[in-house]
Every structure is written in C-alpha cells, then in structure tokens.
Amino acid sequence: MLANPAPGRRHRPAAARWLAVGLALFLTGCLIDSKNPIAPPSADAIDPEILGSWGATGDDGAIFVHVFQPADSPPGSVEVITVGFEKDKSGSIDHYCGHLSRLEKRYFINLIGPVEDCKKAAGEPYFFVAYDRSLDDVLTVSLMKEDVVHKAIASGKIAGLKDANGAPTDHITAESDAIRALILGDTGGLWDRALTLRRVKPPGS
C-alpha cells in the first residue's frame, strides 16, 4: 500500500502482517502511528545484533524480515524488507525505512512505510516496533496497544488527534520527549501483539 490514508485512520495490513503471522486480528486492524519518532537518529541506539535476516511461519505461510543499515546513512538508520509467502504460492514484498531508538535497556524501531524510496519518505508518520533479542538468534517484536494509546489521548496523557466527535484516533501528535515519557512510564500494558522470529543463517554458517 503506497497511498497514505488520513492521519489516525492508517490501515496497514502489509505492515501489520509481518508482526502478526497467524493472528487474524492484525490483518484487519489499524496501527498506532506518530507525527514524531521516539527519538532522532543517534549513535547511542546502534544495535548490530538486529541486523540480518529473520523468519517465522504461521497459518498463512512464511514471512522473512531483512534488516540492514543503508550505506551513507545517519547512525542507527535501518531499512527493512519483508517478504511474505502465501499457501497458494503467491507472495508480497514491502519496504520500510527508519531508525533505531534505545530507552534505558529497551529497544525500538521507528518505521515509515511501506515506501518505494526512503529518500522520499520525509514527513510521513512513524509507527513503533518494540523488540527484544535477549535470547540468542531470537527476535520478539511488539506493537503499541490501540486501546491503551486511545485512553492516553482521551485523558490528555499524550497528545493525539481526535475525530469530529472528540473520540481519540490512532494518530499521536506529541513531541518525542512526551512519547518517551509515555514509554518509560509503562508498567507492562502498552505493548501487545508479540511475534517471535528466528535468525535465518546462510547455509554453512
């Protein structure tokens, strides 16, 4: 999907799919997105261990996620290519761009996409992926819970768009420092939709 719906109504089945193999809810739901990243690109967020190829298999087929650092890019920048295979032998390829963030001992990816060209993605909303790689060759990824973010927007805990009826949407408008405060204040309810991927190693490695 290359066209971008209005903020707060961003349906991203392609983006959600690689985070939710086997979970039908992800295929039809919306993702929380944000005007600003968790933090700007920084050398402090560099994480060589996230780079490489990762894979998982679900009821719908296999998915591969390739994470790499583009040449001549700011420290911590990444591009992500996802390749999905369906049971009927069809498939899909999506391209995302963004950068890593680190808050204390927690790791995140600020992603934009799907896109055709990362050089033309400036100004597009981000969505956030929390990830954990505490186990060797295992990557667990999660997305923000929509209902938790909606409550935070409704209560004024975080700035975000509201619809014509005053109901919170899926779009965060807060500055990065407020986003970091929301994440650091989380006691375990902010992130959901975990998927476990395993590192894909070249033959003979």
Whole-model pTM: value is 0.85
Residue 54 sits in a domain of what CATH number? 2.40.128
Mean pLDDT, residues 108-127 taken together: 93
pLDDT in tens, 132-189: 998 899 999 999 999 999 999 999 999 999 999 999 999 999 999 999 999 999 988 9
Mean pLDDT, residues 80-96 taken together: 88
Nearest to 10 by CA among 148, 158, 111, 97: 111
pLDDT in tens, 13-58: 444 454 544 333 333 357 899 999 999 999 999 999 999 999 998 7
Q: Write the burial class of residue 120 (CB in 10 Å: 0-12 exposed, 13-18 middle, 19+ buried).
A: exposed
Residue 35 lies in domain? 13-144+193-199
Whether 83 is covered by a domain: the verdict is yes
Going from the C-alpha of 54 to that of each of 2, 84, 91, 197, the distances in angstroms are 24, 12, 17, 6
* Dihedral sign computed on CA atoms, order 14, 17, 23, 29: negative
State the total domains in the chain: 1
